[in-house]
């Protein structure tokens, strides 16, 4: 016993002086019976009492802590300002020391990875042994937190934080703040090209109604489910321009309508295409006799915005998984190759057939007489194409100015070389959505409403395909609003001006919401897209091919050139669309 007392005194713990506190030191006897435990009385120095308080049942833990150098400062009451200062100090620290390995690792069950959000500074040795000591550290942390709770009760509600507890507070605050700001953000770079939300919960903030004109505009937005972004100064300039070149402008309007009537797909062409669709459907049913399949025409053939010489897009619907539709790429490739082998045997009908392994695999089919002028693109289970064709079909039935603008804009874009998705520019569907958004939100009085807002049960993604009939009336009339009397020529010039001034870097276009919204709401992996036009049903980017900075600048220059031609010279349709 004398040797044990001397050893503790030599270590600096049991030096002379101070109050007479007792420490229980257990020493096992060396005899075979392991009899008894001796209690040694060791005087405690004043500095030890001041730093750690009276020695209690856990005296051994405190002695070990003193040897490790922990707790060399008396714990103080910290306020929020000190917590934040401590947080900044810890974040800015770039050195790893012996105490950095003592940071608490808390397992938070809210799905957030603390090591990714707020990685601790660990020494190489600590990083190596991190997994081995994880369970032991967690148990020690729980003991430390329980001790702090007891001390808080003794301090009459005054919170006292240790360094490890302070880390937890700072981490919890930062994680909570981050989750509130980016709760719905999709940060997976391997995910799809957009974020998905189940319901349109967008609510416009209440507007201040200053006069009757503001009240009318607010009523229009509420009734049509859209948000208006009109440029009054622009339309005043267009009106002055029209009055300046009155005769030329009349010819301009007349030529646009002539272009529409001469190029629009007529009833005869539609019937001719449907005959080919029925022949292909009969052949495909021979390949898959036991499956309930259907071949559905999509795209410009049925949406009302196609030209007479446009290709026919077909979607081969093959239900599976309890009336669901398999969308895996390999599934589509296997089925299309079976169809391809069967069609190659129909030599009297098929002139040529080509398999295209694109993101959405397709078969390109060319026919012999009397269908030699028709080309068909067939895909498997691209069901969103059916829904959006159905939606555009009913938009085109509301006002002829919509399909007329779509035809002339597509003709203009093709001549200018920016209607070529394979080369990194627009596809036809993106241009149609741009025209649709403009006629909803870009003019003083909208021409088109938000059909998905007015008829949510009629235009939703889960409606059965056999219920979606074309060429029928809507369930009820559209809300009554003041009639828009702008001519087709005025609308075309305003369209070019609208997108010439559009901030594609900051805003995305949404027909589903009936507005534009900040691109900051989208997933980070969508930043590679120079333009984001939201698909109304699956919410992906229809302009995902526009990723090149050079192509993006070419598109902007093309819109700027169109504005200059329309506003600086007498209006002339041939000059506008000349290549």
For residue 569, the model assigns a pLDDT of 85
Return the H-helix or E-strand segment holding 367: strand 362-367
Residue 184 has pLDDT above 90, yes or no: no
List 510's β-bridge partners, or say none.
515, 534
Q: Which of 23-37, 271-285, 368-382, 496-510 is predicted least confidently?
A: 23-37
pLDDT band at 285 (very low <50, low <70, confident <90, very high): very high
For residue 141, the model assigns a pLDDT of 57
Highest mean pLDDT out of 20-24, 40-44, 359-363: 359-363
Backbone angles phi, psi at 442, to 5 degrees: -95, 5
pLDDT digits (tens, 9 = 90+) for 466-483: 899 999 999 999 999 999
Residue 128 has pLDDT above 70, yes or no: no
Residue 151 has pLDDT above 70, yes or no: no
For residue 55, the model assigns a pLDDT of 53
Mean pLDDT of the region 315-336:
82
Highest mean pLDDT out of 85-89, 159-163, 189-193, 368-372: 368-372
The residue among 529, 566, 524, 563 whose CA lies nearest residue 544 is: 529
Q: What's the longest Cα–Cα distance across the chain?
A: 121
Residue 408 has pLDDT above 60, yes or no: yes
Residue 495 has pLDDT above 60, yes or no: yes
Distance in angstroms (rounded) separating the CA atoms of residues 476 and 454: 10
Q: Which of 164-168, 418-422, 430-434 is predicted least confidently?
A: 164-168
CA dihedral 127, 130, 132, 136 (to 10 degrees): 150
Residues of 358-397 as b/e, b for ≥16 C-beta within 10 angstroms?
Answer: eebbbbebebeeebeebbbbbbbbbbbbbbbbbbbbbbbb
Residue 217 has pLDDT above 50, yes or no: yes
Distance in angstroms (rounded) separating the CA atoms of residues 440 and 436: 6
Q: Is 507 in contact with 519 (CB distance < 8 Å)?
A: yes
Q: What percent of the chain has pLDDT over 90?
A: 53
Residue 562 has pLDDT above 90, yes or no: yes
| Domains of the chain, CATH where assigned | 2-68 (no CATH), 80-181 (no CATH), 212-264+398-577 (1.10.1410.10), 267-384 (3.30.460.10)
pLDDT band at 169 (very low <50, low <70, confident <90, very high): very low
For residue 73, the model assigns a pLDDT of 46
Query: Tokens at residue 53, please?
Result: 């308080």
Distance in angstroms (rounded) separating the CA atoms of residues 74 and 539: 57
Distance in angstroms (rounded) separating the CA atoms of residues 308 and 313: 13
Q: Which of 145-149, 207-211, 544-548 is predicted least confidently?
A: 145-149
For residue 490, the model assigns a pLDDT of 96
**Please, what is the average pLDDT of the chain?**
76
Distance in angstroms (rounded) separating the CA atoms of residues 37 and 102: 34
Distance in angstroms (rounded) separating the CA atoms of residues 141 and 164: 8
Distance in angstroms (rounded) separating the CA atoms of residues 448 and 486: 13
Pairing of strands 319-320, 324-325: antiparallel
Q: What percent of the chain has pLDDT over 70?
A: 63
pLDDT digits (tens, 9 = 90+) for 56-88: 545 445 444 444 444 444 444 444 555 555 545
């Amino acid at each position: 016993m004398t040797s044990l007392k001397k050893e503790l005194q030599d270590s600096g713990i049991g030096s002379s002086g101070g109050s007479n506190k007792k420490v229980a030191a257990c020493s096992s006897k060396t005899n075979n019976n392991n009899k008894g435990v001796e209690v040694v009385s060791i005087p405690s120095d004043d500095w030890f009492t001041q730093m750690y308080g009276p020695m209690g049942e856990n005296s051994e833990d405190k002695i070990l802590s003193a040897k490790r150098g922990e707790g060399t400062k008396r714990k103080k009451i910290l306020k929020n300002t000190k917590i934040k200062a401590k947080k900044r100090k810890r974040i800015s620290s770039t050195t790893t020391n012996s105490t950095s390995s003592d940071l608490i690792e808390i397992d938070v069950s809210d799905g957030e990875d603390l090591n990714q959000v707020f990685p601790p500074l660990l020494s190489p040795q600590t990083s190596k042994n991190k997994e081995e000591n994880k369970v032991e550290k967690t148990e020690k942390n729980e003991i430390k937190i329980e001790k702090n709770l007891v001390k808080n009760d003794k301090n009459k509600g005054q919170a006292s934080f240790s360094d490890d507890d302070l880390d937890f507070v700072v981490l919890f605050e930062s994680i909570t703040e981050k989750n509130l700001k980016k709760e719905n953000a999709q940060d997976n770079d391997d995910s799809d090209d957009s974020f998905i939300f189940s319901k349109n919960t967008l609510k416009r903030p209440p507007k201040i109604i200053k006069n009757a004109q503001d009240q009318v505009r607010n009523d229009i937005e509420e009734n049509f489910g859209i948000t208006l972004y009109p440029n009054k100064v622009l339309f005043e300039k267009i009106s002055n321009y029209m009055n300046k070149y009155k005769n030329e402008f009349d010819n301009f309007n007349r030529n646009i309508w002539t272009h529409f009537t001469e190029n629009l797909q007529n009833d005869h062409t539609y019937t001719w295409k449907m005959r080919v669709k029925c022949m292909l459907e009969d052949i495909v049913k021979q390949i898959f006799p036991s499956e309930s399949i259907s071949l559905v025409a999509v795209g410009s053939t049925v949406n009302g915005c196609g030209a007479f010489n446009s290709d026919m897009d077909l979607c081969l619907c093959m239900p599976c998984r309890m009336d669901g539709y398999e969308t895996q790429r390999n599934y589509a490739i296997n089925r299309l190759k079976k169809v391809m082998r069967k069609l190659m045997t129909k030599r009297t009908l098929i002139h040529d057939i080509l398999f295209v392994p694109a993101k959405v695999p397709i078969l390109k089919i060319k026919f012999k007489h009397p269908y030699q002028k028709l080309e068909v693109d067939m895909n498997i289970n691209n069901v969103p194409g059916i829904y959006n064709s159905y939606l555009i079909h009913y938009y085109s039935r509301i006002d002829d100015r919509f399909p007329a603008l779509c035809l002339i804009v597509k003709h203009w874009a093709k001549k200018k070389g920016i209607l070529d998705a394979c080369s990194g520019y627009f596809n036809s569907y993106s241009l149609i959505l741009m025209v649709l958004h403009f006629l909803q939100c870009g003019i003083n009085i909208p021409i088109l409403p938000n059909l998905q807002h007015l008829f949510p049960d009629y235009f939703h993604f889960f409606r059965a395909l056999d219920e979606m009939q074309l060429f029928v009336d809507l369930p009820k009339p559209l809300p009554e609003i003041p009639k828009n009397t702008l001519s087709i020529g005025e609308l075309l010039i305003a369209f070019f001006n609208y997108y010439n001034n559009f901030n594609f870097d900051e805003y995305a276009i949404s027909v589903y919401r009936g507005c534009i919204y900040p691109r900051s709401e989208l997933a980070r992996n969508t930043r590679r897209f120079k333009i984001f036009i939201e698909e109304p049903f699956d919410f992906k980017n229809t302009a995902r091919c526009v990723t090149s900075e050079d192509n993006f600048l070419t598109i902007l220059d093309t819109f700027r050139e169109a504005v200059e031609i329309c506003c600086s010279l007498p209006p002339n349709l041939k000059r506008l669309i000349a290549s």
